[in-house]
Amino acid sequence: MKKFIQTLKNIWTIEELRSKIIVTLLLILIYRFGSYIVLPGIDPNKLTDFSKRTSQGLLGLFDTFAGGAFSHASIFALGIMPYISASIFMQLMTILVPQFQKIQKEGDSGRKKINQWTRYLTCGVTALQAGAYVTYLQNQNKEALIESYQYFWISTVVILTAGTLFVMWLGEKIQDKGLGNGTSIIIMVGILARLPTAFFQEFGAKQVRGGGGLLIFLIELAILIAIILGLIILVQGVRKIPVNYAKQIVGNRQFTGARQFLPLKVNAAGVMPIIFAQAIMFLPTLFSFTKFETGKGIAKIFSDHSNFWYMVIYAVMVIAFTFLYTALIFNPKQISDNLKQSNGFIPGVKPGQPTADYIGQIMDRITLPGAIFLAIVGILPGIAQRLGVTPGYSTFFGGTSLLIMVGVILDTLQQIETHLLMRQYDGLMKSGRIQGRQTASPVSY
């Protein structure tokens, strides 16, 4: 405890770090305040039923990322998710389209172009989602609409679009002036904002149950902690294969270097497979977007996270997308060429294509357990809900929410530790250094 207090004092004595933390907290406060500002033309006193409907199932997931703003019919109802969608699309373009690859390799000017195109695309995506949200409001929550308010559809689309762009601006300011990745911080804060409510709802449900309900709650809490520790291992996990590295110096001198390691990530795809799988699983529900409660067949199955067939299909898609995305971002041929150019080699493997094939095989073997673990994490909320955990609390047992929280917290702690070590202070931990996520993503989830 004494060391912890001393560490906090050290953090506060660093002027640059102190200002970054203050700016980050102020911008987060602005975001949370805006999440409770209700859209014009809506009676906030009549949103109770709407909040209940949007706190479960697929809409509950959207509401989680928006920090409750979706269910509050707030000006930030769409949150930062349209920007996330646009960023993912642009990242895929830079991988699949050669023209975008060339622009990205132009340095700062290329990155600025892609960032600007991402902002434009965000405007279009937000406008489309805002239109769908207004339609949902008009069909599912007519009693909350103020009839005398004219031009509701147009004004709401404009306000929601402006709200998302403002949240995107807040994220960029946190990135420039604050601590950590702004977009990731905003998403994490939105997720954490719902944790206390979900925690007390689950505690209350178990208390009402009686007869060992408190013991069951404590067991659930222990399982949640164990899952978090497992995710930390997954996020930071790196598998290494030995590589003999030799350098030929001009003349008769030759150096046969000591054994070095080629780092291969257990989960190179990060959280992207879960995001892709959720996006695909959402498509069938578009046919009954305004009727989740009465949807039948495929739409009903795909909107219920605790449905058995939903979890099976979802797990298979997560595994498939893990291998697909890893294949897109990991190039064994390029690594083989780099080894050859550096006079490096893998013992017992010929240089060139055999080395590329060997690295590819090793990567596939490493990716498989990571993909299976990622699939299990993805369906854990549904499993928890089937075992009696309340829907709100079950979302924290896995899925995108927990992966994002763990990753962002590790990244932020790593930045704080870097500031401490640069100024000759002790790190946050006694042994070893905190490692952030080692997976590149468009907005560093």
So where are the chain's domains?
A: 16-193, 196-397
pLDDT per residue, tens digit, the chain (445 aa), is: 677 677 777 778 888 888 888 999 999 999 999 888 888 888 888 777 777 766 666 667 777 777 778 888 889 988 888 888 888 788 778 877 888 888 887 878 888 888 899 999 999 988 888 888 888 787 777 777 776 566 788 888 999 999 999 999 998 899 888 887 888 888 888 888 888 888 888 888 887 766 677 888 888 888 888 888 877 776 665 444 444 433 333 333 333 333 445 556 666 766 778 777 776 666 555 444 444 444 455 556 666 777 788 888 888 888 888 888 788 777 788 878 877 777 777 777 788 888 888 888 888 888 888 888 888 888 888 888 888 888 778 878 777 777 778 878 888 888 888 877 777 666 666 555 566 555 444 444 4
- How many other CB atoms are there within 10 angstroms of residue 11's CB atom? 17
> CATH: 1.10.3370.10, 3.40.50.10490, 3.40.50.150, 1.10.3720.10. Which one for 196-397?
1.10.3370.10
Q: pTM for the complete prediction?
A: 0.75
Chain-centroid distance of CA 8 in Å reads 28
Q: Is 352 left (phi over 0), alpha (psi -120 to 50) or beta?
A: left
**Do 196-397 and 16-193 have the same topology in CATH?**
yes
| Two tokens, residue 52 | 């209940």
Alpha-carbon distance of 318 to 306, in angstroms, equals: 16
pLDDT at 185: 87
In Å, the largest CA–CA distance within the chain is 91
Residues 6+ apart with CB under 8 A from 393: 198, 199, 201, 202, 220, 384
With contact defined as beta carbons under 8 Å apart, do 160 and 120 qualify?
no
> CATH: 1.10.3370.10, 1.20.1090.10, 1.10.3720.10, 1.10.10.10. Which one for 16-193?
1.10.3370.10
pLDDT at 426: 61
